Amino acid sequence: MKKIILCVFSFVMCMGIACTHAWGFSISPTAITISHPVHFFSPDGTDIIINPGSYEVEAASNTLRLQSPDTKEPIHILAGPAPFPENVESPVAMAIPIPDEGIYLALAVPKEPGLEAMGSFSGIHTRGASLLQIRKTLTPQRQTQLKAFANQLRKNPTAPDVQKQLKELSQKGQGKTSSASPADANAIILQVLRQSYLETSKDLQFYAAKVKASNEQKKQVRERIQEIREKLAHTTNAKDRETLQNMKEKLEQRLKDLEAQDKLGNFEIQRLMSQYNQAEQAAAAILKKKQDTESRVIQKIN
């Protein structure tokens, strides 16, 4: 399976946490990193290839604008409106891979419709277009069901019952009463992964904000400790020295407490990253297996 590395936001890079999974972290909520060439449509409808690299994603009318630090000119990709009923507090870019097909690229923005586009590894876009259209056929009840399952997948991706439901989604597409084409099945799982990703992003925002606030507090505490040390170096009065020493010890204990909180926050960020990795990998494995089975059936027919 061709791998796409998705960069979501957090302050992990600042904290020195290693990114070893298929889904990594960046300090920007709108940053993605692509590791394999992907075909998209340009605004004039011609084919455009996005080369491997890191990009900041922005909305620009009916296009997604990708800005690479390696090039001066941004790349514009033709995109369509994406309904994001889930509230986001700040823009969030996502790039979700579909095994052997391409990458779903989207940008959710606060209080406005987002934008989305489907890229293709091969340059054949017809199947990708149906992946974007299938969501329109989902009933509100079906969307609610998929949202609930997305939360299950996000929280416990390796649970047997969750794996079973994921497999059923890939086989049944929109439901028991409809015949699911490969694109239908992919679109349903894509919808689940998109929802799971947004919920994970909210949690990451929460913990990243806590870590950022803690880092600022630690900076202030360290500065205060340094001030006290300088005063101690120039203070000879025993009582004043005792007062300053007590203040320094309290601040040092506060610094230890903040560092302990950071460890918990870092652990939660790593846990969220790992869980989403597992969810994405589980979905990709099931889709890959399904597509391989379909290919063998077609080869036998031919």
For residue 224, what is the DSSP state?
H
What residues contact 266, with CB distance under 8 A and at least 6 apart? 12, 15, 17, 211
Overall pTM > 0.75: no
Choose among 27, 247, 6, 287: nearest CA to 166: 287
Separation CA 37–CA 287 (nearest Å): 21
For domain 6-301, say whether CATH 1.10.287 is its number.
yes
What residues contact 183, with CB distance under 8 A and at least 6 apart? 127, 130, 131, 134
Domain boundaries, the chain: 6-301
**pLDDT one digit per residue (tens) for the chain, 302 residues:** 333 333 333 323 333 332 333 334 444 678 887 888 999 999 998 999 999 888 999 998 889 999 998 888 899 999 988 877 667 788 888 888 777 778 889 898 888 888 989 898 887 765 444 556 666 667 777 777 787 888 777 777 777 887 787 777 766 554 444 444 555 667 777 778 877 777 777 777 777 778 888 889 999 999 999 999 999 999 999 999 999 999 999 999 999 999 888 888 888 777 777 777 777 776 767 666 655 555 554 455 55
C-alpha 115: how far from its chain's center? 16
Separation CA 9–CA 273 (nearest Å): 11
Separation CA 207–CA 200 (nearest Å): 11
Residues found in the chain: 302
